[in-house]
Structure 1
Amino acid sequence: MIGADKSRDPAHASRRRQPAATVLAAAAAAGSTGSQRQALLRLLRSAREAGSSGRHHHGLQAAETALQLAGEHGFEHLRSEALALLALHRFRLGQLADAIPPGLEAASLLERPADAAARAEVLCTVAMACNELGLAHDGLKYALEALSAARLCQQPLMLSWALNRAGLCTFSAVGDLEQSVALLQQARELAAQHGHLIALFSAINNLGSSYRTAGQLAQSLAQAGAAALLAQSLDYFQQAATLATTTDNPHLQATAIINLAEILTDLARYDEALAELAQGRELARCGDFTALQHRADLAEAIILHRTGQLPAAIAVLQRVLALPAEQIEYEMRVLAHEALYRVYKDGGQFEPALRQLERLRQLEQSLADKRSSTQGWAIRKELEITSARLETERERLKAEHERLRAVRLEAEKSVAEARMSELEQAVLVDALTGVGNRRCLDREGPERLAQLQGGFDGMAVVVLDLDYFKSINDRFGHAIGDDTLRKVAQLVVLHTRSVDLVVRYGGEEFVLLLMETSQEAAVATCERLRLALMDYDWSTLHPLLHVTTSLGMAWQNQPQDWQAVLRAADLALYQAKHKGRNRLEVAPAL
């Protein structure tokens, strides 16, 4: 994506390196493993510094040499770094399809928790390469993997970069500008909090890129919001340009200025754009940033085209396309051919315009072939990694199986006992309300009555019934009826103690076993419960719903026949219903 962030860390921007071949020759002459390792470390440092200063051709050579040296001498962990740097430099040079395999191979070697930061970094590179190659969904997949690794390593700066890449890939894959902006804003906030200017610049710059792409799309579709999107893009690019002036990184400054020139061109502010281009091109020339020079040339050609200077525009574009293939990125070639096609067409030169279309067709076919080849390689690589993991897991499981064989029977017995306990508990619970059921009452009632001689002072058996419950189902439906029963059960549990027992006996009828010190205390508990149910705001279930209850209680402080006590409480409930409902009646002593 032209204008998308490709900023670099400025920490080593001014350093220069020994040629990779010189370092390798010195290592070969030294011969010792220690010297070879030192040579490899110098190569890797050289490749990293080249990334910081934008000298990617030199960085690519150093990374390739480092990879060769690491492979020959078995420096596996350093090999993963060499692969990651190789992927980075190929990506920066526009070798998108060639950047993905070493990046994914490096990621496969960085699976330990301690390697999370390095894994996140290389997956960010792979995500961006996929994104720019047109494999947007693959790019989003690897960006999200990078985000997971960044969260694992708990390094705020790495998390900022991963959020940054996820933001760009989200917009490319699903066209969700809102989500893309949200991720980029998170990246921006993290970078600002930790004072990292490069990460902050990148987030702001990519916000500008996302809005610019959205604005260009809206403009091409003649949508009303195009101008506002492009204006927002300009604002972010201006912020990025201001921030770039606070750094000593000429590549960053040139990137910001040329981005600003491109959005000014979109807004038809050509004089301002040309002034920015002159400054940006000079910075790019002094820094030998060829990719940025090509972008400046393309922007100039577009301005010349739009201002009617067609021969001058053709000359600029032909000069760009005359460069050797290795000196111009794939995307730039495509954009230059597209621009040249439009210039020829607008100038009425239809034959050369047709030749440009044919060349574009060839480039698109080449890109499609690269995409297919890259996707195929990535799939094969993932299958290899998965197969290796499965083999490792198979061996681990085999060993675990042997270890567990001696204790298997005991473990199975424990599991069976636990399951039996769960089933027993489930059998005693009412599925609708979550309180005990009739089977639970049949077990607990006789046991608790039998304990009155020793453990408890007394027990009240209370039968609680909802008044006119049938009318609730008839008027409001069974769903409201079920909700009412659940709420009644909750309120009863809340207004009783953990030592008491609450069961749903059937339908709208509940039975309570209240363990109290006296009949008076049991009566007081029942009254509090009746008032709590009556006063509850039932409109939360239905605006017209109101619930009252009738209660029958039988008090016992000595062992007694369970069925006789339950029957006495039930008869007391009948009396409460007969006397007008919404009341408590106490059964005579047995």
Structure 2
Amino acid sequence: MAVVEIGVSEALDHAQERLDWFDTSTALAVAGRVVEEARAGVHPEPVLARALTIVAWAHRGQDEHPESMKAALEAIEIWQRIGDQAGEAIARCAAARVLVAVGQGDEAIAEADLALVTADGAGDRAARIKARTTLGAVCVHIAQYELCVEHCLRGLDLARGHADDLAVGALLDTMACGHIGLAEHARAAGDEETAQAELKRGSELSSEAMMMARKNGHRRYEAVAVANLGEAVALAGRPDEALELMETFYLDPVRDSRAVVTHHLDSRGCIYLELGRYDEAIAVFSEAIELAEGETAAMITHDHLAHAYEKAGDLRQALDHFKQWRGLFERIASEAAQRNASVAAVRFETAQLRRESRHDSLTGLPNRRALDELLAVWAGDRAVLLVDVDRFKQVNDTFSHLVGDEVLRRLGMLLGIACRASDTAARYGGEEFAVVLDQMEADGAMDAAERLRAAVETYDWGTVADGLAITISVGVAHAAKVPDVPALIALADRNLYCAKKSGRNRVCMH
């Protein structure tokens, strides 16, 4: 049964809801089916873009980074094509999360910044909150804790009072991580007073996030907030209180993922270390390693276990776990480099495909599709030139189609040279070209068209074929004279017809 039969909008709403509750498998299954149907022509482009965005986030949640990046980039392209900046911003947030996960911190910040700019341009509150949360999370990963706090504060200003508790909770918890990071920096610098102040603020935020998650029944958010709060309280020198807090959350292997269980066990072990209860720390760290679903979690816990054995005086076991930590560290670093390369390859391939889909293979100029996208953003101070090669069929018949192709290539080159940096020359189709002149008055457009006509007429076409001479006719239209893009193109086309009917090799503008 096609998703369309149960309502594609409802299906994607369900997929998004499951994603919000960290059920990435269900989200991926539902949204993936919508993607397949959209590719088969069952659903329109906006549906495909939304489904791809959910797929990108679901793959990211499963640490499938190349797959996530591929879906995100395709979604971004479609959102841009249909002019939906809010959708584009959310897809860019997924791409930023992937980039930071594979160690491309600078690229992640740039992508997240672009997501925020795009969301601000859309004026969409949900997209702006998502972008601020993403920037905060990226900043935590690259140890830019002050920036994390700043972005989360601005996100909270947007999210509070709008019945968006999930968004508020995510921002609170991310901001708490920022304050804990600032506390660790301050402690390392010997500034214990600042460290305690930052830990106090981090604890307050994690506590608020925990209570909000409990109120909404979001167990995953509650679990993360409890663990972060416990760690912050323990770092502040109150391990007994931290342990009491951890015991308010009862782990359930049926409802809680292995990631949640191991996170809690590791946090509890760290608290036992602070309390000097080394045997209990060793026991829960060992259990966490047994349950770890990924090498990164196991690596972190091996490090903690090595410290626990060292504290307990068992140096042989401490050395053994240090070696296991080192081996995992090296393997994870190697795998991270491979993932990084895979994501980079996906980005490069997507960029190449994007360029090919928007550029004419013969001339290298933007094609009709790219021109339409450019013109879709209306500008009243813009002019369009439609350019047609005079008697081009005669060129093909007399000199060959190979010569005709070279004429088009050379003309594309001449157009590119004649354009300012702000202008765009494109192949319109066949032997027709278009030039978009931005911030140009009508008289200036006529002058530019005449210069172009003269440049083509005086070019040494004999370098292409003996006896070859090429001229062009140009129709000029200015946006100030028409209400919209179709009317602008229609006016340029009428003026091109006028130029040809008046004898060719001339410019016409009415």
TM-score above 0.5, yes or no: yes
Partner of 1:393: 366
Q: Kindly tell me: are residues 112 and 388 of structure 1, through their superposed partners in 2, closer, same or farther at Cα, counting changes over 3 Å? A: closer
Deviations 1:372-426, CA, capped at 9 Å, x for gaps: 2212322332233234334482444233974679xx9975665799xxxxxxxxx
Q: TM-score, normalised by structure 2?
A: 0.65
Shift in alpha-carbon separation, 1:60–1:291, aligned structure 2, 3 A: farther
Given candidates 281, 292, 296, the residue that maps to 2:260 is: 292
Match of 2:231 among 259, 262, 266: 262
Paired residue secondary structure (1:138): helix
The answer to whether the Cα contact below 8 Å between 1:261 and 1:277 also exists between their aligned partners in 2 is yes
Aligned to 2:302: 337
Displacement after TM superposition at 1:208 (Å): 0.9
User: Please, which of 84, 89, 103 is the counterpart of residue 115 of structure 1?
Assistant: 84
Tell me, yes or no, if structure 1 residue 231 matches structure 2 residue 200. yes
Provide, for residues 199-226 of structure 1, a one-character-per-residue CA deviation record: whole Å limited to 9, x for no partner: 2222222211111122223434545533
1:318 counterpart (286, 289, 301): 286
Contact in 2 for aligned 1:54/1:289 (Cα 8 Å):
no
Name the counterpart of 1:49.
17
Sequence identity, in percent?
A: 18
2:168 matched residue in structure 1: 200
Question: Which residue matches 2:101?
Answer: 132
Query: What does 1:181-200 correspond to in 2, within 5 Å?
Result: 181-200=149-168
Alignment of 1:427-506 (within 5 A): none
CA contact (8 A) 1:127 1:139 kept: yes
Seen in structure 2, the aligned counterparts of structure 1 residues 138 and 387 have a Cα distance that, compared at 3 Å, is same
Distance 1:198 1:366 in 2: 33
1:250 and 2:219 are equivalent in the alignment: yes
1:354 aligned residue: 323
- Write the distance in 2 (CA, Å) between the matches of 1:243 and 1:257: 11
Displacement of 1:110:
1.4
The 5 A counterparts of 1:415-430 are: none
Check whether the contact 2:303–2:321 (CA below 8 A) recurs between aligned residues.
no
Note if contact 2:66-2:346 (Cα within 8 Å) is conserved in structure 1: no
- Residue segments in structure 1 that go unaligned for 5+ positions in a row: 1-25, 28-34, 418-590
Larger radius of gyration: 1
Query: What CA deviation, in whole Å up to 9, does each residue of 1:162-182 have, x standing for no partner?
Result: 122223334544x54443322
Deviation at residue 130 of structure 1 after TM alignment: 2.3
TM-aligned CA deviation for residue 150 of structure 1: 1.0
DSSP 3-state at the match of 1:280: coil
Task: Provide the C-alpha distance between the structure 2 equivalents of 1:178 and 1:43, rounded to a whole number of angstroms.
Answer: 39
Is the contact made by 1:341 and 1:353 (CA closer than 8 Å) also made in structure 2? yes
Written as runs of structure 1 = structure 2, the 5 A alignment for 1:505-516 is none
Does structure 2 conserve the Cα–Cα contact (< 8 Å) formed by 1:113 and 1:152? Answer: no
- Residue 307 of structure 1 corresponds to 275
What letter corresponds to residue 140 of structure 1 in structure 2?
I
Number of residue pairs the alignment of both structures matches: 378
Contact 1:146 1:162 in 2 (8 A): yes
User: Distance between the aligned counterparts of 2:321 and 2:295, measured in 1?
Assistant: 21
* DSSP 3-state at the match of 2:247: helix
RMSD (Å), alpha carbons: 3.4
CA distance in structure 2 between the aligned counterparts of 1:132 and 1:268, rounded to whole angstroms: 31
After superposition, the Cα gap between the structure-2 partners of 1:265 and 1:387, relative to the gap in structure 1 and judged at 3 Å, is farther
Instruction: Give the corresponding residue for 2:466.
Output: none
CA separation in 2, counterparts of 1:416 and 1:403? 11
Report the residue type matching 1:133 in the other structure.
V
Kindly provide the amino acid, as one letter, of the partner of residue 342 in structure 1: H
Residue 217, structure 1, aligned to residue 185, structure 2: yes
> Kindly tell me: are residues 366 and 239 of structure 1, through their superposed partners in 2, closer, same or farther at Cα, counting changes over 3 Å?
same
Aligned mate of 2:136, from 151, 160, 167: 167
Confirm whether residue 63 of structure 1 aligns to residue 31 of structure 2.
yes
1:98–1:274 CA distance, 2 compared to 1 (3 A): farther
Q: Alignment partner of 1:393: what SS?
A: coil
Letter in 2 for 1:379: F
The one-letter code of the counterpart of 2:354 is I
Match of 2:70 among 94, 97, 101: 101
- Deviations 1:473-500 (CA, angstroms, capped at 9, x unpaired): xxxxxxxxxxxxxxxxxxxxxxxxxxxx
Contact 2:239-2:274 at 8 Å conserved across structures: no
Distance 1:57-1:178 versus aligned 2 partners, 3 A rule: same
Segments of 4+ in structure 1 off by > 6 A? none
Cα distance, 1:53 vs structure 2: 2.8
C-alpha contact (below 8 Å) 2:211/2:222 kept by paired residues: no
